[in-house]
Amino acid sequence: MSTLTAASYNTGFLPTWCPGCGDFGIWKSLQGALAKLEIGPNDGLIVYGIGCHGNMYDWMNVYGFAGLHGRALPVAQGVKLANHTLPVIVVSGDGDCLGEGGNHFIHAAKRNPDITVMIHDNQVYGLTTGQASPTAKVGFKTKSTPDGASDEPMSPLALAITAGATFAARAFAGDLVGLTEIMAQAIQHKGFSVVDILQPCVTFDKVHTYQWYRQRLYKVESEAGYDPKNRMKAIEKAFEWGDKIPVGILYQEERLTSEARESALEHSTLIEKKLEIANWDKLLLEFI
């Protein structure tokens, strides 16, 4: 019986996020999901991006990798290929994952590694004091878009599903119970799972408040006959935004993971392999 609780993951460091930030809910939900899945501080790795979200590692007692802005997914894939039995989770933001790391996100989805990415989606760059992120909706006024954002916003889930992700869910940072459950399901999913977490930025976004979201969110599974295996329907749901915004598992399918397709990993992880080559002379024969 596991003795892990959310408190097992505290480090003694206190969060530096703004009071009321959506990151608190994401942090607590992730601790809850890890405890639920019995992934202890020594049992897994969280790879963080750079942004407000990324500061989470300091108060998260699990092996952590706080790398470069946008590069969390390639690091996570390298770790996963070296040790595919290790749970690997990516904590990223909309700017980190879709702006600086957009190409990595597309290709990670295409490869389907057994990695879960939690995208803190608040439409702004908070750590640099409030510029528009790739998910900023048209008209949204930020420090970099004083007249309102004019580019089309990116849909993280439509992009993920199109590129090949095998699990795509949307959740809300203000619903700890629902978010914890979705995170746990995403981590348990064998393949590339994306959780787009809607998160109010209480400092730089006065529009998309907790209240704003609560008035609009509905559970996709409450819709009669919704089938998360239906790819086209899932894409349609991913784009749904306005008076009604769906949360829940929009899409899920089973497909071989990136690691499962590597014949070298069939019997053991890379880090368990013998380093000496048994058939060295046979290898040299090819060059004679």
Partner 1 sequence: MKMGNKYILRVVSMKQTVTWKIAGEAGFGIMSAGTMLSRAFTRAGYHIFAINDYPSLIRGGHNVVTLRIATTPFTSITREVNVLVGLNAESIEKHIHEIQDGTVVVFDPKDKEWTAAEFVTKVELVSLPLRQIVASFAADTIMRNTIALGASIALMGASFDIFSSVLHDQFIRKGQEIVDENIKIAKAGYDYIQKNYPTLTSLYLEKGEYTEKIAVVNGSEALGLGAVKAGLKFAAIYPMTPINALISFLADHAKELELVYKQPEDEIAGINMAIGASLAGARSMVATSGGGFALMVEGLSLVGMIEVPLVIDLGMRVGPATGMPTYTEQGELLFAIHAGHGEFPRIVLAPADAKETFDLTILAFALADKYHVPVFVLTDKYLNESQWCIPVSQLQSTVPIDRGKLIMGDTGKAEHEFKRYALDTEDGVSIRSVPGTKNGQFYANSYEHDGLGHMTESASLRKDMVEKRMKKMLAIQKEMLSPIQYGDTDAEITLVTWGSTRGPVLTAMEMVRSKGKKVETIYIPWLFPFPVDGFMALVAGKKRVIDIEQNATAQLGQLIRVSTGFDIREKLLKYDGRPFFPEEIVELCLH
Binding site for partner 1 (CB under 8 A): 11, 13, 41-45, 47, 50, 55, 57-58, 61-68, 71, 73-83, 85-86, 103-104, 106-107, 262-265, 270-271, 273, 275-277, 279-281, 283-284, 287-288
Give the contacts of 24 (CB within 8 A, at least 6 positions apart): 15, 17, 173
Closest CB to partner 1 among residues 15, 178: 15
Give the nearest distance from C-beta 76 to partner 1 in angstroms. Answer: 6
Decide if 70 contacts 99 (C-beta within 8 A): yes
List b or e across 159-171, with b for residues whose CB sees 16 or more CB atoms inside 10 angstroms.
Answer: bbbebbbbbbbbb
Minimum distance, C-beta of residue 233 to partner 1, in the bound complex (Å): 28
When the beta carbons of 224 and 275 are compared against partner 1, the nearer one is 275
Look up tokens 């439509």; give the residue: 158
Choice between 76 and 132, CB closer to partner 1: 76
Return the number of the residue (215 or 268) whose C-beta is nearest partner 1. Answer: 268
Q: Given the complex with partner 1, which of 234 and 265 has the nearer CB atom?
A: 265
Residue 151 structure tokens: 């580019």
264 exposed, middle or buried (CB, 10 Å; 0-12, 13-18, 19+)?
exposed
Nearer to partner 1, 207 or 271 (CB): 271
Residue nearer to partner 1 on the CB measure, 177 or 277: 277
Report which of 201, 58, 73, 209 is spatially closest to residue 125, judged by C-alpha positions. 201
Kindly state the smallest distance separating residue 7's Cβ from partner 1, in Å. Answer: 14
- Of 68, 69, 70, 66, the closest CA to residue 55 belongs to 66
Q: In whole angstroms, how close is the CB of 34 to partner 1 at the nearest point?
A: 13
Nearest approach in angstroms of CB 66 to partner 1 is 5
Q: And the tokens for 55?
A: 């500061």
CB of 40 to partner 1, least distance (A): 9
Q: What angle do CA 212, 214, 219 make, to 5 degrees?
A: 135
Cβ atoms 81, 112 nearer than 8 A: no
Q: How far is the CB of 115 from partner 1 (least distance, A)?
A: 11
* Rounded Cα distance, 269 and 288, in Å: 32
